[in-house]
Structure 1
Amino acid sequence: MKRFYDVVPKKKSAKRAQPQDVQGENFFWGKETEIAQEKSPSFFESKRFKTAFHRSALVLILLVSLLAFSYAKAVLAQNEIEKLNSNVKDELEAILNSVERGDLKGAIVSSEQLKWSVSEIKLKLQSLGQDSGYFSLIAPSDSKFANIERMYDAVNLTMEAMAEIQNISGNSLSLETEGNKDYLFDGSRVADTLNLNLEKAGSKLEKASKLLSSIKPEAIGQKLEDIENARNSLEKMRSNLEELRNFSKTGLGWLFEKSSERKILIIFQNNAELRGGSGGSLGSFGVAKISDGKITDIDFGKNIYKLDHEFEVKENIKPPEDLSWVVSDSSWTLKDSGWAVDGLEAMKKIEWFYEKESGEEVDGVFIVDTTAVVNLMDITGSIELKVYDKVITKENFRSEIEQEVHKDYFTSANNLVENEPKKIISEMMPIFLNKLMGSLGDRDKIFNLISILQRNMAEKEILIYMENDDFQRYLSRKNLSGEVDQNKSSYIYINNSNIDGLKSSLSIDESIKIKSEITSDGIVINKLNLRREHKGINLWPDGTNRNLVRMLLPNGANITNFEMVSGDFEQYRDDGYKDEKPYWITEEAGRSELRFWMTTEPGEISEVNIEYTADVLQSNGDEVLLPLIFQKQPGANADKVEYELTFPENWTPTNIANFDSQSRTIKFSFILDKDKRFLIKFSKPHL
């Protein structure tokens, strides 16, 4: 059989027609070629074919190599981007969680980290250049990239919102005191700036939320639940900012209203001597004067004791019955006016007494205890008092002030006549407050200051009351006035008052253990153990802690047992027990109140076991609810709390993951550094 290339073509004088390209040149070789009449090499053996084949093979190899390289590059970039995506998700969650906790500084730090991760992702995508098209080999869905783009647009908008919040600091909060001695702080400008920046931040968060709602989770490998949680967090963050913006317009707008005058009473109290709902023994005070939206002066006047003495000469106010046997004075005055367990009521009474004794009306009360002052000295640093030859630091603040007020001051005969032992506080506080205000123009300090203020307000080292209704509603809603919670719940609030117990309150470690049992008929039986350990030494200004306990319980609580384990429970100043019992029951602030003395010596432990029943369960459709509320006393150390609940057979907790189904118990513990609220849900038993 003849092979294709053995066939000899017939001789022709004419040229053989060749396939032409669009330019009239040979399709294979590029030029016209005359076929030789004699026997010639086959098409596949020709030199030109071999050259063309080599060229084509080389091009094909290059194309395949380029494709493989681009594919590998795309896969590598995708892996790196996925890692960064994970970082972005974690950092975005950290921002939202920080904002939800009120940790603005933490949110800003997470925002800076988020910016870096997003920038890295952009660089990775840009580095691919034309190769980004090869992502279609990995994820061919066109919608994936549209959804990724929406996600990063939402992230960028969130970062821009955080930047707007960050911009509130700096120039907007600068005091601008250089060359201007007419005022200390321009509150009106701060309120306006706060309102503007919060409005911008809220608008960006609203857009980010809408973008998240348009994302298809399956297109970017996310769960619908995760996207919804992120969107809900953004909405909550936006809602909080909107609430803060409304506060800046109404609350701060009222306080720093232009063409108006305001006066705020500032009380400095010593929580080493706990007392009532205000949180401590009232000491020095000042009055902040606000004119035309600016703080123009903070006047630190007489000490409270001197003001009280001048008032008692003119008028005698009989103390309420529950206070008359606690204080030795026959007249009720400003120093004991914060006695009510409810912080708001205590501050209203403080304001009333101040106005009565001074003849000066004020528009609100701002209470700061020594713990808050010490914490804020992280911002101010040390304070030099040249007249006293002292440098006050956060480490020696309490000891130096106590030494001067109670001992050193009275070594001078002139001071005995003057009788202003707390003058050192009045002279220190203007320097302290000026340093605090000066930090508002320092970006490095502003968020530390905000964080410290937020923590101390949440932990009730700072309390605020304002006469403006809108302002006060906001403060009450944010739990910034120390009010007693009125919601039906399994409730506990222990209020301690140090009566002639020197400065021993901060030396006490208090712990609470509660074992509760829900009976089949829906009554909750509680066994409470209260333990107070005196960690101090019997050295002035510390000493025996003579303490009156006022324990607020659920309405209608029935005391079934009161067992004194250790310590002194006899009432102070009178031998024996009041009404021949170590405790007595009354009502205060809308709650049942159990009162008893519990005196503890340095190095000793006082302990009591109390049993009581309460009707606190609530029904919600097919569920039974047990709300738990633990409130912290203003100014007090944080209690250690252990809680154990036993529930009936056939009851199943529906919102608690960790419980013992065999013993039917739920256990948890926490530090009561601020008010804590819990809700335990049970499926309703089928009878």
Structure 2
Amino acid sequence: MNEISGKPKTTTEIEPVNDGILIVGEKSFLGSQLREILASCGIKINDLQGFNYIFQLGDFEKIEFFLKKATGASAKFLLILNEDVDTKLSKKAEEAVEKFIQAQKLNAKIIKLSGFAGEEIEAVKKILKIAFSHTSQKTFSLTGPGTFWEKSKKSQGAVAKKRFIFWGILSALLLFLLTFPITFILANIFLGTVNLKNAREAVFSSKFEEGKREALSAQEHFTSAENGFGQIVPVFYLLGREEQVREIENWFKIGQDLGGATRHLVEVGQEGQKLARLILGQAEGRIDELLARVAADVSLVEGELALIEARTVKKPPVLDKNLEQIGSLRKNLVKFKNLLGVAPWVLGLGEKRTYLVLFQNNFELRPGGGFIGTIGFLTFTDGKLDLQVEDVYTADGQLRGHVEPPKPIKNYLGQIHWYLRDSNWEPDFPTNARQAAWFLEKELGIRPDGVIAVDLAFVKKILALTGPVDLGDYQEKISSENLFLKAQIYSQEGFFPGSTQKKDFLSSLTHALFTKLAMENRQPAVSWLGMGKTIEEAAQEKHLFVFLKNELAQKLVSEQGLGGEVKNVKCPAPNGKCLDDYLMIVEANLGVNKSNYFVKREIKKETEFENDGIRSKIVLVYENTSPVNISFGGVYKNYLRILLPASSILEKIKIDRQELDLAREIDKTTAFGKIATGFLVEVPAGNKKEVEVLYKIPLDSSWEEFTYQFLVQKQPGTENDPFGLQIFASGWRVLETNFPVAKSGTLSYNGDLSVDRFFKIRLTRGPL
């Protein structure tokens, strides 16, 4: 073979190569180059039957095995080490070879390489020259222009530094190009969401200009986010994410639409505020034109919200808080739009309207809400509001002739005539409103277009919304906390029929409230949206009622919960198999005092299902916390009526476990499709009283499945009394309920009667 170039440290002589060669670690790049060069020279490679040379470049853990192979075959052994990659195995291999050399067991050489990165063929030539030369040198250190896996330290540092700078700049640029659109999009989404939140809060607080600015900013941010997303849409298409593109683009549209709807809602709020100022006489303008603009804007916002609801099949997580109120807001806008349709009639556009206002003191409780001590005349002339307050005794003093009162008024109150002040004798407000309007016409010759009833709890809610009001004539600040006591002092203490003190106090209070509601220091004193919520809450809790002679207007009023009707339950079951249950506790304080301020009540109902019907027990617990010597407290003289289903059978009534004679001691009548059972219950100051009423409702024994419905209605004027319901359904299996079950084994509800409560249970025969 041809001579191989190279310059070992000692004089060498090239020997001929006739036999085979064994290469250990030939899978490395250097090993493969060594094999290729030797094979091209016609030398046998890795023939275990005959070899004179062993080149070991790897598999150092097997060094002992190959050293023995070399010894047994009298072969020349060459250990080739990469100095640039120092490992424990290579060190051990070097130590093992040195031991064999020292023991003169074989002809071995150690070749240490460094600096041959990219110069592997040159390294192979030098290795072969050493292998096939006669030299006594045992260890060789060869240095090339670079390392096998790295450059020499000097050149490596310079090259690496340049490469690092280049790749660093390139990576930073790529990272910036990739992340900037995403960062830009996320930042705009975040800012847009914050803007929407701020806009919503501003609108609900009547800070309309701030709300408009925030809504506009929200639109701009979501538009910017959409434009930014357009730059990276191709990436989504490359990844096959077309559906996600449509979904994300829809989210941006929702954000923009929310901003637009909020801006238009601001306009509704501003116009509504102006409308209120026009009505209250704080501004000038055409109410009819403003009503038309408000109606148009409400329709626009309602349509925008409907579009947003249609888009939100899948809600964007970042907009979830802004979307959760859309459903209820849209419903309220629809209600408001419907009310705007009858507003011209209600506001007296073209014809003056007069409404009788009943101020009911619910601390002297009556079936319709409270004793009517004061009345008012609310008039609208072309939209302009005026309220005049009058003592009810002034009107009652002008009644001519005799009107027979309900028997309890005659028997327990001692009134031989019936007057406007006692006209709210029924728990059904439309009935009371008609009766009050009848009395007003008989007493003062006024035929009202409607009747409105409010109690102290309603006024208290308004004061909680507006904050305290100053009564200059009385040098007093009236708040929700001191309302009753101040009203008692200025309207009841030392009162006699014909005096004006009640009228004067309520006139001053209502005037102060209207002033507060209109404008205060050129800023709205309260949120009109908050006012709407307060009115809705007062209606649900039976502290505010409205009755209008216009049938369409009254229908809309009733739909808002302002009607105050005694209701009936309708069967929803397709097979008509329903058992309807009903309860209403109706009280009338006939003690000529305000003891209801001190009276607490708790209502419980236990119902047991039997094979042929249900048997129920109602338990009423009264506690009169009134001090004995207080002027407006005392005995709670309560004419109590229990309204039950017409199909019910009264079984027992007990007062403190003493059973009443159903034939002689109770009044049994029918009213509003119900059975009414009335009797007197007196609770002395500082005492308790318990009333039990037991009744049964028959059930068709052939029914295998049916729906039980129970409606319990709150009496007007009462507070949030505790209410508990327990149903024992032995022999029946419950399929469905509309209320959470609080106790296993029975159906149990523990809550209050802040509003009417409706319970529905679907049952089938079988174990619970």
Taking structure 1 as the reference length, the TM-score comes to: 0.74
Distance in 2 (CA, whole Å) between partners of 1:376 and 1:184 is 26
Distance in 1 (CA, whole Å) between partners of 2:465 and 2:565 is 29
Deviation at 1:609, TM superposition (A): 2.1
Code of the aligned partner of 1:420 = T
Q: 1:501-512 counterparts in 2 under 5 A?
A: 501-512=592-603
Q: 1:248 aligns with which of 317, 340, 362?
A: 340
Q: Please tell me whether the aligned partners of residues 465 and 481 of structure 1 are also in contact (alpha carbons under 8 angstroms).
A: yes
The residue aligned with 1:434 is 514
The residue aligned with 1:292 is 382
The residue aligned with 1:276 is 367
Compared CA separation, residues 685 and 661, structure 1 to 2 (3 A): farther
Distance in 2 (CA, whole Å) between partners of 1:677 and 1:182 is 43
Q: 1:511-590 counterparts in 2 under 5 A?
A: 511-521=602-612, 523-538=613-628, 539-565=630-656, 580-581=664-665, 583-590=666-673
Any idea what the Cα deviations from partners look like across 1:417-436, whole Å, max 9, x if unmatched?
Answer: x5334232353245234325
Secondary structure of the structure 1 residue equivalent to 2:652:
strand
Q: 1:659-674 counterparts in 2 under 5 A?
A: 659=741, 663=745, 665-674=746-755
The residue aligned with 2:76 is none
The residue aligned with 1:14 is none
The residue aligned with 1:142 is 242
Compared CA separation, residues 578 and 200, structure 1 to 2 (3 A): same
Distance in 2 (CA, whole Å) between partners of 1:182 and 1:74 is 52
Distance in 1 (CA, whole Å) between partners of 2:688 and 2:263 is 52
Q: 1:424 aligns with which of 504, 516, 528?
A: 504
Distance in 1 (CA, whole Å) between partners of 2:641 and 2:686 is 23
Q: 1:494 aligns with which of 573, 585, 610?
A: 585
Distance in 1 (CA, whole Å) between partners of 2:558 and 2:566 is 10
Any idea what the Cα deviations from partners look like across 1:258-301, whole Å, max 9, x if unmatched?
Answer: 22211111121211101122x01001112122122322x32234
Distance in 2 (CA, whole Å) between partners of 1:346 and 1:442 is 39
Q: Please tell me whether the aligned partners of residues 546 and 563 of structure 2 are also in contact (alpha carbons under 8 angstroms).
A: yes
Distance in 2 (CA, whole Å) between partners of 1:378 and 1:285 is 23
Q: Please tell me whether the aligned partners of residues 161 and 201 of structure 1 are also in contact (alpha carbons under 8 angstroms).
A: yes
Q: 1:11-410 counterparts in 2 under 5 A?
A: 62-64=169-171, 66-67=173-174, 122=222, 125=225, 132=232, 136=236, 141-170=241-270, 172-174=272-274, 188=288, 191-213=291-313, 237-250=329-342, 252-277=343-368, 279-295=369-385, 297-301=386-390, 303-311=391-399, 314-321=400-407, 323-388=409-474, 390-408=476-494
Q: Please tell me whether the aligned partners of residues 302 and 334 of structure 2 are also in contact (alpha carbons under 8 angstroms).
A: yes
Q: 2:561 aligns with which of 470, 473, 479?
A: 479
The residue aligned with 2:678 is 595
Code of the aligned partner of 1:395 = E
Which structure is higher in RCO with an 8 Å CA cutoff and minimum separation 6? 1
Compared CA separation, residues 655 and 64, structure 1 to 2 (3 A): farther
Compared CA separation, residues 651 and 357, structure 1 to 2 (3 A): same
Distance in 1 (CA, whole Å) between partners of 2:301 and 2:357 is 33
Deviation at 1:157, TM superposition (A): 2.5
Compared CA separation, residues 513 and 618, structure 1 to 2 (3 A): farther
Distance in 2 (CA, whole Å) between partners of 1:209 and 1:649 is 45
- Which shows bigger deviation, 139-148 or 51-60? 51-60
Compared CA separation, residues 398 and 322, structure 1 to 2 (3 A): closer
Compared CA separation, residues 662 and 133, structure 1 to 2 (3 A): closer
Compared CA separation, residues 625 and 454, structure 1 to 2 (3 A): same
Q: Please tell me whether the aligned partners of residues 501 and 545 of structure 1 are also in contact (alpha carbons under 8 angstroms).
A: no
Are residues 1:676 and 2:761 paired?
no
Deviation at 1:624, TM superposition (A): 3.0
The residue aligned with 2:40 is none
Secondary structure of the structure 2 residue equivalent to 1:148:
helix
Q: 1:647 aligns with which of 710, 713, 729?
A: 729
Code of the aligned partner of 2:304 = K
Any idea what the Cα deviations from partners look like across 1:50-87, whole Å, max 9, x if unmatched?
Answer: x99998997566545555666677888999999999x9
Q: Please tell me whether the aligned partners of residues 206 and 524 of structure 2 are also in contact (alpha carbons under 8 angstroms).
A: no
Distance in 1 (CA, whole Å) between partners of 2:223 and 2:701 is 56
Deviation at 1:672, TM superposition (A): 1.1
Code of the aligned partner of 1:600 = V
Compared CA separation, residues 442 and 509, structure 1 to 2 (3 A): farther
Distance in 2 (CA, whole Å) between partners of 1:184 and 1:552 is 50
Distance in 1 (CA, whole Å) between partners of 2:494 and 2:624 is 27
Distance in 1 (CA, whole Å) between partners of 2:470 and 2:710 is 47
Distance in 2 (CA, whole Å) between partners of 1:510 and 1:63 is 79
Q: Please tell me whether the aligned partners of residues 215 and 260 of structure 2 are also in contact (alpha carbons under 8 angstroms).
A: no
Deviation at 1:569, TM superposition (A): 9.8
Code of the aligned partner of 2:365 = L
Compared CA separation, residues 82 and 175, structure 1 to 2 (3 A): closer
The residue aligned with 2:107 is none
Secondary structure of the structure 2 residue equivalent to 1:168:
helix
Compared CA separation, residues 524 and 232, structure 1 to 2 (3 A): farther
Taking structure 2 as the reference length, the TM-score comes to: 0.67
Are residues 1:450 and 2:450 paired?
no
Any idea what the Cα deviations from partners look like across 1:102-121, whole Å, max 9, x if unmatched?
Answer: x977999xx99997997898
Distance in 2 (CA, whole Å) between partners of 1:454 and 1:474 is 13
Deviation at 1:472, TM superposition (A): 0.6
Which structure has the larger Rg over C-alpha atoms? 2
Q: Please tell me whether the aligned partners of residues 215 and 263 of structure 2 are also in contact (alpha carbons under 8 angstroms).
A: no
Code of the aligned partner of 2:387 = I
**In percent, how many aligned pairs have the same letter?**
20
Secondary structure of the structure 2 residue equivalent to 1:560:
strand
